[in-house]
Amino acid sequence: MPRILDGAVIAAAIKQEVAEEVKLLAARDVQPGLAAVLVGNVAASEIYVRSKVQACADLGIYSELITPPETVTTEEMLETIASLNAREEIDGILVQLPLPAHVDTKALLDAVSPAKDVDGFHPVNAGRLLAGRSALVPCTPAGVIEILKRSGIPIAGRHAVVVGRSDIVGKPVAMLLLHENATVTICHSKTRDLGEITRQADILVAAIGRPGFITPEMIKPGATIVDVGINRITDRAEFDRFFLGNAKREAAFAKRGSVVVGDVDPMAFELAEAYTPVPGGVGLLTIAMLMANTVRAAKMRRELPRRGL
């Protein structure tokens, strides 16, 4: 029976560690601070950002929610970022994506001070990660590594295959695995004979953004599967493809008209030694790692010693 790598348990442990770090910083009269910038009224983004703000409150981190209107210009947003860069009580700046089409997303992310870039998207932090130097690392890739380590999954010497090459997940998780001494192969939508490569994986990270893209015949028996994808299904035929006969999912689909599935066909998990479920896996680590990055940024900016996360 495959082992389920429970993201909720690991995220709770990380948040507890962050709360302890916040208490230690309070003894030095330091309170980490996070500013979240949410443009317009996108329901999914609003829910996600408010959950981040709530996590800050739960852990003793100061937070500030900045909500420019949908009509905000790139120039106005750059002024907001410059103001946050200059504020001493703000250690982390989070710009919630996606932004409106008329706003220059790249210019905005590049304007965030690398020292406050808790999303780990700035080219300076990307370069430091590539070089194996201390950096603020993107939250989801960092969460993947935490799941593997805290679940006792060996990384060193194993063949890790990453399916997906995005700057947000695929590339940074590949670098993190490499720094943990895995042998890493990066695949993508243009890779030829993809299944032949994924069948070599001791650790398979699926982050391509396509529902059920990794099928059972693409899995090496006994592999560890880390499914980063979160895809919402509303079509009945597609639902039946993945969850026909699953009473729990059937009830959820009937109630909400949708369910989520990862980038891995659920049938493929039966071949694994261990896997992260969707939901309940990697996604739960993202906010926990954001909190950890905010505390880390607070320490780095003040040249305080790091302990644990």
Task: Kindly state whether residues 163 and 98 are assigned to the same domain.
Answer: no
Are 36 and 97 part of one and the same domain? yes
> pLDDT > 90: what percent of the chain?
94
Residues 38 and 149 occupy one common structural domain: no
Per-residue pLDDT at 181: 98
Residue 119 within any structural domain of the chain: yes
95, 168: one domain: no
| CA angle (21 as vertex; 18, 25 as ends), nearest 5 | 135
Q: With respect to residue 76, please indicate whether it lies within any of the assigned structural domains.
A: yes
197: which 2 tokens?
């490569």
Residues 94/35, Cβ–Cβ less than 8 Å: yes
What is the structure's pLDDT at 308?
Answer: 60
The mean pLDDT of the chain is 95
Look at 200-204, 220-224, 255-259, 261-265 and tell me which has the smallest mean pLDDT. 255-259
Total number of domains constituting the chain = 2
Q: How confident is the model at residue 307 (pLDDT cuts 50, 70, 90)?
A: low
DSSP 28-58: TT---EEEEE--S--HHHHHHHHHHHHHHHH
Contact 181, 157 (CB under 8 A): yes
Whole-angstrom Cα distance, residue 125 to residue 98?
21
Residue 280 covered by a domain: yes
User: What is the residue range of 210's domain?
Assistant: 139-284
Confidence (pTM): 0.94
CATH number at residue 127: 3.40.50.10860
Tens-place pLDDT, residues 102-117: 999 999 999 999 999 9
Q: What percent of the chain has pLDDT over 70?
A: 99
Is 2 a member of any domain?
no
pLDDT of residue 195: 97
Q: What confidence score (pLDDT) does residue 309 get?
A: 61
Domain presence at residue 304: no
Both 152 and 247 in one domain: the answer is yes
Mind listing the pLDDT tens digit for each residue in 17-53? 999 999 999 999 999 999 999 998 887 788 889 999 9
Residues annotated catalytic, as ranges: 52, 96, 119
